Copies of this chain bind each other. A is one copy, B any other.
Amino acid sequence: MQQRAVLTIAGSDCSGGAGIQADLKTFTANGCYGASAITALVAENTVGVQDIFPSPPLFVVRQILSVLEDIEMDALKTGMLFDAEITKAVVHTLKKQYGSGNIPPFVCDPVCVSTSGHSLLNPDAIDVMIKELFPLATLITPNKSEAELLLAHGRPGAYPCISTLEDMYQACKDFFTQIIPGPQAILLKGGHITATLEDVDRVSSAYPEISVVRDGLFGENMEILKIGRDISGVELVVDMLYERSGAVAILARPRIKSTSTHGTGCTLSAAIACGLAQGLSLLEATKAGASYTHMGIENAVPFGKGHGPLNHLHSISKILIPRPSPSNPHPFTKLLIQENPGIWKDYVEHDFVKQLAQGILARESFVHFVKQDYLYLKYYARAYGLLAAKSTTFPAIRSAATTILSILHEIGTHTEFCSRFGITADELEATEESAATMAYGGYLLDIGLQGDAIKLLMSLLACLLGYGEVGLWIMKEAAKPDSWVKLEGNPYLHWIEDYSGIEYQKAVKAGMETIEACAVADPPSSTRYEDWCEVWRKCTKLEKSFWDMALERS
């Protein structure tokens, strides 16, 4: 439940694929709380940039201060800073706010040019960025063009074109010799550089200090995954992470042929910032960020007419059962009842129950019910035996065994009840099982064989909870003025008192809490959730049939 806070300082992309929008989506998908100071409103879409309206530098400062004076940030990132004035304002505000050395992990994406070729940073801003912003950064994340631009800055002539992995390595080194003090690390992105597995192997054997992260590729002992796939010629995307300490790593993954690349840089730097906020090492955060971004491209959903956005939602799914909260301490049980209202009502407000509550239920119906329930409880106890066999902790084994003992106790009251109606223990034991009893009992054992402990628990729930509900409902109705319920002189009063009583309600509560704890510990996928609900529905219907069967006797 812990959430780290991350602030992005960047432009706004109204179309939602890049800028603070991509950042906020990335923060959200990666479990972080996102805040954002906007440097400029950009009217853009997947086709290109139509117009830019910068924020006054002072208003950028205002936004940053509103955030930082109120919420402690676990990481920062910057994107498009637009011009020298805004860049200076950002530098000044961060220095003032954090002093020297106290800044949280900070990823600086030195955005100069958009994917669609539009200039996003005035040239005079580059000087400020290099000299004043980079020294604050944990990591800067230039692509090929940005690296060339930054490395040529303040020097005569252009920086040589970066086109091989060797060039990338040289450029990384040049960064640390040319730019002093500079950032703590650089991630030189190779999205615009062509490379293959052979290139990676060549560079890594020529420079043993370079470690190769094959996260997106097949590693050692993965022959079964490679079979039938021609890997050697595959075009790769290779990023290089160079830390001031000298540690250098290559991150390689297959290039995806896709036009859904709008906002790739924003997403990557935002995702790395999340990892750093969550305490990952720079390498781990970069790996995680690169993987998140890669899969965002690969799973892109088509939007727009040009370079579409990444899919920022690829790594998240919906939680189906809310966590217990003060206003809803048993959300799973509530859902089960709420989403299947008809069959639940048919069960707990069954005519059998109503006649019983009025005291007018035919005696033979009740006797038939008790005899069949006696036989059903044998299955029920055996199902708890299976539950014990499926349990992997002593407390779980104890709980199942204790329930068996309670059921055996309940058997006692059944026997006693029957003897009052003149039915001997032998007669009870010799009762032939009705189809309803066999159907229900067999179903419990089937689920017990088929599934895991939670599924088995689900099958035991409708009986446990339903009788508790019936007991409470009758008592609630009885308490109303001029109630239709008749407790005085009711031959079945004892039965009503049993199921509405404290002892049984304790068991109901324990049952609910077990199932709620299961849902919290192991939140189900939609398939599994549907599977659990199906078991609940089936048992609810089997309960109803059980009472149908008893009533048919009268």
Contact = CB atoms under 8 A, between A and B. Distances in A.
Contact of A3 (B1, B313, B334): B313
Contacts of A491: none
A88 interface: no
Contact of A224 (B222, B301, B469, B528): B469
A113 interface: no
B50 A66 contact: yes
Interface stretch (A171-179, A238-246, A342-350): A342-350
B36 A63 contact: no
A294 B527 CA distance: 26
Given A41-B63, A222-B334, 19 more contacts: A14-B66, A14-B67, A16-B67, A53-B56, A219-B337, A221-B345, A221-B473, A223-B473, A224-B465, A225-B333, A225-B334, A227-B505, A299-B323, A315-B319, A316-B317, A316-B319, A389-B449, A389-B450, A392-B450
A452 B532 CA distance: 13
A54 B433 CA distance: 78
Interface in A299-347: 299, 301, 303-306, 309, 311-319, 322-323, 325-328, 330, 333-334, 337-338, 341, 344-345
Nearest to A475: B223
Contacts of A317: 316-319, 523
Interface stretch (A22-30, A149-157, A373-381): A22-30
Contacts of A311: 3
A348 B223 CA distance: 11
A287 to B, nearest CB: 11
Contacts of A453: 450
Contacts of A449: 389-390
A220 B66 contact: no
A15 B70 contact: yes
A348 B47 CA distance: 50
A31 interface: yes
Contact of A24 (B1, B21, B222, B314): B21
B227 A472 contact: yes
Nearest to A50: B66
Given A3-B313, A63-B41, A317-B317, A450 B390 contact: yes
Interface residues of A, number: 115
A92 to B, nearest CB: 16
Given A66-B45, A224-B512, A524 B525 contact: yes
A299 to B, nearest CB: 7
A110 interface: no
Contacts of A295: 322, 325
Contacts of A390: 449-451
A216 B328 CA distance: 8
Contacts of A465: 224
Contact of A63 (B31, B43, B469): B43
Most buried by B among A12, A295, A327, A333: A327
Interface in A386-400: 389-390, 392
A37 to B, nearest CB: 5
Nearest to A24: B24
Given A295-B322, A316-B319, A450 B450 contact: no
B38 A225 contact: no
